[in-house]
Structure formats: structure tokens, C-alpha cells
Amino acid sequence: MSYVTEQGSVILAIPADKMVEAPRNIDLALQDVVSGYFNYKLWSFMGLTEIRRRYRRTVIGPFWTTLSLGIFVGCMGYLLSAMWHNDPKVFLPYFCSGYISWILIQTIIMESCVTFTSTEAFIRQISLPYSTYACLITWRNIVVFFHHLVILALVFLYAGTSINFNILLAIPGLVLIFFTGSWMAILLGMICARFRDIQQIIGSILQLAMFVTPIMWTPEQLGAKGLLLAKLNPYYHFICLIRLPLLGQVPSLLNWSAALLVTSVGAIVTLLLFAKNYRKLVFWL
């Protein structure tokens, strides 16, 4: 609403209810996120139940995915090691650890696109924090990631790779990926609920990202350009937080700094957009 003074200037008058709406929405969004994270018993149980439901009445359950992934890693590992003229016992652990880390990140991103549309029935019938469904997606894929570690164990056994205490550094990396995946599930879930075509665009981007990320190749193979490409690629830094500890190495300060920067900026942007569209989200489903 605006008023025109005698001097001809325009004064904007903002209603009192509009002035308090933004802070109130921020409070709602923050309360939703905090309640969702602390509701860990529910989303952890729902994640395990969903895994069991997907593989109901199968013999090896979720390990069917692990089996198919293991066959792919074995075949591609030998092929790529021959192409790069590398020893398979050196290349296979590098490729396997990077690829299962990439599958974790890729699956979280793709499933984040349907965070709310796939749980529409629950949202319309049960009053739960929206962030509960985001935590559910990230937790479920981390559980599947632990299943995939069986492949890496077999590769290590074949290659004679030793394991040291640096492998424990993968735990904080997975924790960071959990928090990153949870806000990403909220952000992409909102955007894809509003604009359904975005999911197809994200799928195409991920297909390209897999080839420009050092998973099947090492940055050193491309020289200075490869190192620069890796440093500018956020996927690479998140993968290093898991791959390097699994290989007995320590992630660099650059890896942690880049990953924390992406997580911090993404969380702030997500919170602002979540607060702005918190009341509209249910109408987009």
C-alpha cells in the first residue's frame, strides 16, 4: 500500500502482518529442520523398512544392487586399467572406492528430486516435519553404501591393499554428506515439486558430471588441466572425503574446505527458500 504526500513523494506503507510474516516463516522452517533431525528414530526406521520393502521375497535382498555394481566395477576396472596401462591391482581399489562414493552422491541427488512428490500420501495425511523425508532419503542411501563396501573389501583382498586407522576418517566425511544430502533433498524436493522438468535436467547433468569427475581417471593423467578441473569440481572434494580414507590416506585441507563451503552456502540458501515457500509446498504436490 502506498500514499502520496502533498509534495508529490510516494511513501510505501507495509502492513504489520506482512512485516512479521518473514521472521515467522524462518521460525517455522528452523523448527521443521530441528524437529526433523531429532526425529532420528522415525526416519532411520522408515529408511530400513523401505530397503526391506524394495527387496521383499528376494534371496539376498539389497545385495542384488551390490552384486550388479560389483560386476560393473570388475569389468570396467580391468578395461580401464588396460586403457590407461595401469596395474589392475593398483587401479581397481582407486576406481572401486571412487565409484561407490559417486553412486552414493548421485543417488542422493536423484532421489532428492522426488523427496516430497514420492511421499505425497504421507504429507497429506500425517503431520511430520518436511525435513524428516529429507533425512530419510540420505540415511537410506548411506545404509546401501555400507552394503557396497563388500565390493571394496573383495577388491582389497584381490589387490592386497592394506587397511590402516585412516579409514575411520571416512566417518566424518559420511556425516558431512548426510547433512549436505539432507538440505539438498529439501532444496531439490521443493524445486522439482514446483517445476517437474527440473528432474530430467538434473539427471542429464549428473551423466556428464560422472565423466568430468576423477572417478575413472586420476587428475595427474591430464596434467595441470586435470588438477585444475578437479579442484573446481565440488563432486571431487566430496568423493575424496570418502575415497581417500578408504584407501588409507588423509583428505587434504582443500577437500574439507571446499566441501564445508558448499555445505554452508547450500544450507543457508535452502533455509531461506524453505522459509519463503514453507506454506506453499503442500499445494505443489
Question: What average pLDDT does this structure show over 134-138?
Answer: 94
Amino acid at 155: V
pLDDT value at position 7?
A: 46
Query: Distance (Å, rounded) from C-alpha 50 to C-alpha 36?
Result: 18
Whole-number pLDDT of residue 59: 65
Give dist(CA 235, CA 259) in Å, integer. 9
Per-residue pLDDT for 218 more than 90? no
Q: Per residue in 11-47, pLDDT tens?
A: 444 454 444 455 678 888 899 999 999 988 999 998 8
Q: Which residue has the higher pLDDT, 5 or 85?
A: 85
Specify the pLDDT at position 12.
44
Sign of CA dihedral 213, 215, 219, 222: negative
Does some domain include residue 239? yes
Rounded mean pLDDT of the chain? 87
The answer to the question of residue 187 being in a domain is: yes
Contacts of 214 (CB under 8 A, 6+ apart): 98, 226, 230, 233, 236, 239
Residue 44 belongs to a domain: yes
Quote the number of domains for the chain: 1
Which ranges of 247-277 would DSSP assign to H, the alpha helix? 253-276
pLDDT of residue 75 exceeding 70: yes
Residue 98 domain-assigned?
A: yes
3-state secondary structure of 284: helix
Residues 182-203: tens digit of each pLDDT: 999 999 999 999 998 899 999 9
- pLDDT at res. 176: 96
Domain carrying residue 201: 20-284
Cβ atoms within 10 A of the Cβ of 143, count? 15
Residue 6 within a domain: no
Q: Is residue 13 part of a domain?
A: no
Question: Is position 5 within any domain?
Answer: no
Considering only 13-17, 58-62, 116-120, which range has the smallest mean pLDDT? Answer: 13-17
Residue 219 lies in a domain: yes
Give the model's pLDDT for residue 61.
Answer: 67
Checking if the pLDDT of 261 tops 80, the result is: yes
